[in-house]
Amino acid sequence: MATIKKPSVDAVLVGFGWTGAIMGMELTAAGLKVLALERGENRDTVPDFAYPRITDELSYGIRGKLFQNLSKETVTIRHTPADVAVPYRQHGSFLLGDGVGGAGVHWNGHHWRALPADLQLRSTYEARYGKKFIPEGMYLQDFGVTYDELEPHFDMFEKICGTSGKAGNLKGQIQAGGNPFEGWRANEYPLPPLASPNSAVLFEKAARELGYHPFPQAAANASRAYTNPHGAQLGPCNFCGFCERYGCYMYAKASPQTTLLPTLMKRSNFELRTRSHVQRVNMSPDGKRATGVTYIDAQGNEVEQPADLVVLCAYQMHNVRLLLLSNIGKKYDPATGEGVVGRSYAYQLNGGATLHFDKDQPMNPFVGAGASGHAMDDFDGDNFDHGPLGFVGGATINCINTGGRPIQQLALPAGTPTWGAAWKKAAKENYVYQTSVGSQGSVMAYRDNYLDLDPTYKDAFGQPLLRMTFDWKDNDMAMTAFIGSKVEQIAKAMGPKHISMGFKKKGDHYDVRPYQSTHNTGGAVMGTDPKTSAINRYLQVWDVPNVFVMGASAFPQNFGYNPTAVVGALAYWSAKAIRETYLKNPGALA
């Protein structure tokens, strides 16, 4: 293996998904010479996502053609610190991205700002319910950045994505038809909401009649043709039903390819090197500065890439692993509760009801988009009184129809046999009439849910895998039981012939097999106290000022929303601090 040393650059980006593309745009705009290193291949709408090839459920949806190849690198998982972790050998619970665009290619486009209270969760709970309300062992923290500070960046990311939606709170004025619980917005969404599939229309009516506040899901699936502030053009979504897990052949789903790369790839101070797998961040002998990164190129050469600034944009868990492999920051130790890297890994707890309607109400499940439907926020965040309920957190409840691909999305009434004549008959009779009401629930951070390096298993280059120690806690189960009762109430009000409930119960353990969400958070948490956070409120590593860490690894706990709007807004917020403050005086940002 040859070792090659490349000429130095101003900034190196590790990973080229959503955060890599945003950082690329912002740092090249500041005049820096920027290099992005992406381990996967180059990808673009044409030819990679072109119709009809992309509408192949087996290759993309089931075999995961666009996902990370786990034979090279994966994580190991266990439920408690006393267990032996085993590898996440096949994709299931979460689907890691790979290649240019990262998971931003095959996401759905549910576009959610955080609630103001979500960003200051500890302060909010302590003020409303008292310190004692927070259970022993739960790490509840504020992000260290407020909603008001992030608002312009949420706004920017929506304009970049051409997000379709209806405002609920314009400059403090509650708007009919939007989410009345959302934080204030300076502007309407760039595009009007997507049309709602039949099922979501029923959901909207049922939820409203029950006194709740449903609204059209904000979608990074363009409802109209749109040109974003960088001049990138999006086409209208046609509800193709091959959305999450697929690239969008219509140029309608916001991805780095459809929104940022047309501009970024033309900038002369930007370079992208694909098939460049970063192994570690290189550190100065005193451990106080990063000197660049080392990666393995397509031919297997080890390449040293010097850089003044290193930005980790490798997705939540890869960011944490790279910090651990590079000895940046103090490792978290669950026994003592000390250390910060690996601390506060969290996930989400989802549930749902499957509904089947009568013959006069076809739901045409194949007519759908990644984020088409209605949602409600009445039982999310701190939008309702937790006092008598005794748990922290909540969930969004929604009826989103993303498609009806029959291998993955055929849903049959509970109790149907899984094979044989009765299974087939049920498939034939129910497919067209199926829909679901889902919930996406927050999961808090805990002392013994964390990330570290696995002592046994290695990646294809011989480096230790990341180890995830995670299981559900009583608080999360109490939350999901409460949400389940609400989902059932709404599902009944929609008037189906049959309802099957699917919610986890106390005593259930984390099961890595079924897909749940790729909303993994924490491990390199942001905050204002270096004892409990790995990065400061500008996403800068506390002790190594020329390393910044993007992505949901920064979230101190999870919430009831999909993460990317917050991930995007934080990237813009961090980029602004780098541009306006750090570059003038490259040190720790106070």
Partner 1 sequence: MTDVPSPGRRGFLRRSIAIVPAAGALTATGFVAGQQVAAQAASAPAAAASPPYTPVYFHAEEWAFIQAAVARLIPSDDTGPGAIEAGVPEFIDRQMEGAFGQAATWYMQGPFVPSSPLFGYQGKMLPREVYRAGIAATDAWCKQQKGGKRFAELDTGTQDEVLKGLDGGTIQFAEVGAKDFFTFLLQNTKEGYFSDPIHGGNKNAVAWKMIGFPGARADFLDWVDKPGVHYPLPPVSINGPQG
Question: Minimum distance from CB of 53 to partner 1 (Å)?
Answer: 6
Question: Minimum distance from CB of 335 to ligand FAD (Å)?
Answer: 29
Amino acid code (one letter) for 374: H
Neighbours of 587 (CB within 10 A): 11
Answer yes or no whether residue 569 interacts with ligand SF4 by CB under 6 A: no
Answer yes or no whether residue 232 interacts with ligand SF4 by CB under 6 A: no
Pick one of ligand SF4, partner 1, ligand FAD, none as the site partner of residue 168 (Cβ within 5 to 8 A by kind): none
What does the alpha-carbon distance between residue 323 and residue 241 come to, in Å, rounded to a whole number?
A: 38
Which of 147, 239, 357, 379 binds ligand SF4 (CB under 6 A)? It is: 239
Site string for partner 1, 163-202 (x = CB under 8 A): --------------------------------xxxx--x-
Task: Please identify every residue annotated as catalytic.
Answer: 519
Question: Minimum distance from CB of 363 to ligand SF4 (Å)?
Answer: 16
Token reading at 542: 């506390």
CA dihedral (302, 44, 109, 190) positive or negative: positive
Residues forming beta bridges with residue 375, ordered by sequence position: 215, 398
Residues forming beta bridges with residue 513, ordered by sequence position: none
The span from the first CA to the last CA of the chain, in angstroms, equals: 42
Answer yes or no whether residue 258 interacts with ligand SF4 by CB under 6 A: no
Token reading at 575: 């980029």
What does the alpha-carbon distance between residue 66 and residue 157 come to, in Å, rounded to a whole number?
A: 24
**Binding residues with ligand FAD: total (CB under 6 A):** 41
CA atoms within 13 A on the CB side of 464: 17
Question: Minimum distance from CB of 412 to partner 1 (Å)?
Answer: 11
Answer yes or no whether residue 563 interacts with ligand FAD by CB under 6 A: yes
Residues 6+ apart with CB under 8 A from 276: 37, 38, 39, 295, 296, 297, 298, 303
The residue (of 128 and 458) whose beta carbon lies closer to ligand FAD is: 458
Token reading at 430: 């129910």
Pick one of ligand FAD, ligand SF4, partner 1, none as the site partner of residue 107 (Cβ within 5 to 8 A by kind): ligand FAD
CA dihedral (279, 283, 288, 290) positive or negative: negative
Cβ-in-10-Å burial (0-12, 13-18, 19+) of 300 comes to exposed
Site string for ligand SF4, 364-403 (x = CB under 6 A): -----xx---------------------------------
3-state secondary structure 180-213: CCCCCECCCCCECCCCCCHHHHHHHHHHHHCCCC
The residue (of 235 and 329) whose beta carbon lies closer to partner 1 is: 235
Residues that bind partner 1 (CB under 8 A): 51-53, 55-58, 62-64, 67, 69-71, 74, 77, 84, 86-90, 92, 195-198, 201, 236-242, 249, 360-362, 364, 366-368, 372, 404-407, 410, 418-421, 423-425, 427-428, 431-432, 456-458, 509-513
Q: Give the interface with ligand FAD as residue ranges (CB under 6 A).
A: 14-20, 37-40, 95, 97-99, 102-104, 106-110, 244-245, 277-278, 313-315, 318, 371, 518, 550-552, 562-565, 567
